[in-house]
């Protein structure tokens, strides 16, 4: 599988050798990386491949040729090419492009920016935005306040370091660092001073207030007439951005209200505003805001909706039309800190998660509006179709849906039907052909029906299926991934200790091949999570506690 994205691109060796060499295309990608957060070009590995051909050899003079040809075509771009060899013996060039200290361009004055897995041109007024956002030194790493390291809040420091060392997202080699080294690693300190990021996360109250752009959050509740009925403000600068998320969630009682929906003979509780959605909205507002611009974050709660308003515009390259498929990190180091603390998904999947949760709860997709000085996200409180909740849950349990499939299924479950063009627009896709990974398996399992051809194709869910939840498609347990099967086996043994493999097989899923269950048990035993006694047909298994 290709790993191409915000920080990586792959090109055939033909792009830099012989008559097929396209130096302008390579220069464009290098400029795009330099204007973003840096990146790597792997020259000699085809798209969709993990390794070069085993017999591929790189001419020794090619790295020097790369430097010369690209230096003739770029401005403010640093190029670091190296010849690398993969385990299969094939060679390729790893071309590293660091983040530029100032705006990078072609020699004829064209600008590009890396947005997700594409190098996009920057034109018009966006060139000025690029120049203003591309300061030589990122705001997070500046030490303009000159707050001594010794004056940091010790309680906040100890809490942060403990959370980082407990996180499974932090590499063991990073956890082994001393406290001071760990603070330097996350750009919280620099030399004897706290950076701006360090002041946000570890500074005392008066230090954070001196930043002037330290985040302030206002919660305002309105009644059905648009009159203010409640207001909460977090403006005393006593809390770090990480602590603000928890404070807002805990101190706003409206976020924990629930609906009661009929569910056969019983009733089920559905949150008025899902905790995942609220937290993701807060994380996006805190991590992606421009910290060089003043302005409060507003949470405006109306009887039928919640509006989250953030100062500033979207990061350059992100628009309301491509937000589902685009990853741009305005505050790289703050995003890394939030990711390692497990407060966010670093690769831009936060907004995808909001879509997924809302649609799976029978609610409309979030609405994103951008103006010249603010970004507003609106999520609705009302559930359009309560039956969608059970439908998505049952479909996911049966078929192990991907996030894309849950989003597509949620959209279609709320509508009578959508044409290919309408669904393409709703999913913010560039073409009808791009819908295949979103719909192919849903169509194969007959969860989604289609009628018509090309862009006039209509996609819909059979209303009787939505009501009955009687799925006729084949279960995916036959194709279950090894780690999912191992988790099911372990859970089964926790409930039913001293089990034979035949009993485990029957309970987990009789349609799974016995050899798969046996391999899953062997993996769990090797990891020390399962033990056994006896041999052959008398062998029994226990989950280790």
Task: Tell me yes or no: is domain 8-133 CATH 3.30.950.30.
Answer: yes
The per-residue pLDDT for 471 is 62
Evaluate whether 490 touches 524 at the Cβ level (below 8 Å): yes
| Category of 107 on φ-ψ map: left (φ > 0), alpha (ψ -120 to 50) or beta | alpha
Q: DSSP letter for 445, please.
A: T
From residue 130, alpha-carbon distances to 66, 111, 284, 400, 445 in Å are 26, 9, 21, 42, 46
d(CA 405, CA 438): 5
Closest CA to 331 of 310, 353, 309, 355: 310
What are the extents of the domains in the chain? 8-133, 140-210, 217-380, 387-469, 478-543
Closest CA to 485 of 517, 462, 453, 515: 517
Distance from the Cα of residue 244 to its chain's centroid: 21
SS3 of residue 264 by DSSP: coil
Task: Tell me yes or no: is domain 387-469 CATH 1.10.645.10.
Answer: no
The per-residue pLDDT for 453 is 76
Judge whether 8-133 and 387-469 match in fold.
no
d(CA 104, CA 237): 37
The per-residue pLDDT for 1 is 36
The per-residue pLDDT for 2 is 42
CATH for 217-380 is 3.30.565.60
Q: List the pLDDT tens digit at each of the 545 positions of the chain.
A: 345 677 889 999 988 888 888 999 999 999 999 988 889 999 999 887 888 999 999 999 999 999 999 999 999 999 999 999 999 999 999 999 998 888 999 999 999 998 877 888 988 878 877 877 766 568 899 998 999 999 999 999 999 999 999 999 999 999 999 999 999 999 999 999 999 999 999 999 999 999 988 999 999 999 999 899 999 999 999 999 999 999 999 999 998 888 776 655 556 677 888 899 999 999 999 998 888 888 899 999 999 999 999 998 887 777 777 787 776 778 889 989 999 998 887 555 568 888 888 988 888 889 999 888 889 999 998 888 888 888 888 888 788 888 889 899 999 988 878 898 889 888 888 788 888 889 988 988 888 888 887 777 899 888 777 776 666 544 455 556 777 788 888 888 887 888 899 888 887 777 677 888 888 898 899 888 899 988 888 889 998 86
d(CA 35, CA 58): 28
State which CATH number among 3.40.50.450, 3.40.50.2300, 1.10.10.10, 1.10.150.120 fits the domain covering 478-543: 1.10.10.10
């Amino acid at each position: 599988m290709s790993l191409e994205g915000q920080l990586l691109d792959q090109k055939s060796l033909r792009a830099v050798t012989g008559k097929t060499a396209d130096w302008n295309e390579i220069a464009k990608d290098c400029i795009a990386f330099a204007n973003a957060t840096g990146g790597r070009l792997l020259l000699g590995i085809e798209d969709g491949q993990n390794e070069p051909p085993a017999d591929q050899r790189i001419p020794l003079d090619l790295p020097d040729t790369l430097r010369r040809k690209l230096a003739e075509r770029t401005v403010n771009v640093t190029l670091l090419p190296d010849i690398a060899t993969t385990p299969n013996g094939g060679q390729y060039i790893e071309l590293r492009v660091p983040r530029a200290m100032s705006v990078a361009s072609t020699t004829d004055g064209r600008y590009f920016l890396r947005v997700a897995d594409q190098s996009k041109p920057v034109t018009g007024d966006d060139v000025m935005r690029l120049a203003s956002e591309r300061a030589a030194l990122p705001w997070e790493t500046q030490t303009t306040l000159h707050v001594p390291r010794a004056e940091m809040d010790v309680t906040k420091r100890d809490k942060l370091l403990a959370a980082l060392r407990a996180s499974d997202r932090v590499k063991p080699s990073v956890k082994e660092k001393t406290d001071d080294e760990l603070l330097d690693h996350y750009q919280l300190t620099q030399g004897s001073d706290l950076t701006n990021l360090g002041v946000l996360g570890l500074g005392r109250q008066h230090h954070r207030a001196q930043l002037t752009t330290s985040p302030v959050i206002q919660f305002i509740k309105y009644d059905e007439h648009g009159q203010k009925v409640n207001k909460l403000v977090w403006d005393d600068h006593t809390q770090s951005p990480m602590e603000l998320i928890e404070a807002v969630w805990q101190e706003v009682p409206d976020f924990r209200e629930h609906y009661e929906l009929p569910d056969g003979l019983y009733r089920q509780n559905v949150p008025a505003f899902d905790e995942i959605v609220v937290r993701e909205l807060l994380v996006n507002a805190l991590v992606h805001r421009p910290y060089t611009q003043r302005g409060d974050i507003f949470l405006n709660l109306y009887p039928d909706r919640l509006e989250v308003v953030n100062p500033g515009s979207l990061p350059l390259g992100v628009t309301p039309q491509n937000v589902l498929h685009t990853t741009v990190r305005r505050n790289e180091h703050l995003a890394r800190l939030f990711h390692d603390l497990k407060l966010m998904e670093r690769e831009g999947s936060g907004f995808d998660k909001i879509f997924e949760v809302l649609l799976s709860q029978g609610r409309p997709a979030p609405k994103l509006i951008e103006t010249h000085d603010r970004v507003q996200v609106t999520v609705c409180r009302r559930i359009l179709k309560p039956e969608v909740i059970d439908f998505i849950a049952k479909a996911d349990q049966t078929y192990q849906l991907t996030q894309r499939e849950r989003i597509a299924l949620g959209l279609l479950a709320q509508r009578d039907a959508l044409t290919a063009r309408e669904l393409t627009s709703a999913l913010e896709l560039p073409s009808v052909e791009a819908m295949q990974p979103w719909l192919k398996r849903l169509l194969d399992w007959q969860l989604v029906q289609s009628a018509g051809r090309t862009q006039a194709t209509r996609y819909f869910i059979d209303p009787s299926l939505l009501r009955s939840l009687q799925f006729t498609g084949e279960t995916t347990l036959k194709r279950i991934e090894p780690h999912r099967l191992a988790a099911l086996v372990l859970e089964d043994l926790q409930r039913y200790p001293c089990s034979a493999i035949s009993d485990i097989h029957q309970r987990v899923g009789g349609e799974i091949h016995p050899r798969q269950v046996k391999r899953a048990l062997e993996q769990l035993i090797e990891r020390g999570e399962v033990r056994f006694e006896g041999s052959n047909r008398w062998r029994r298994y226990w989950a280790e506690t």
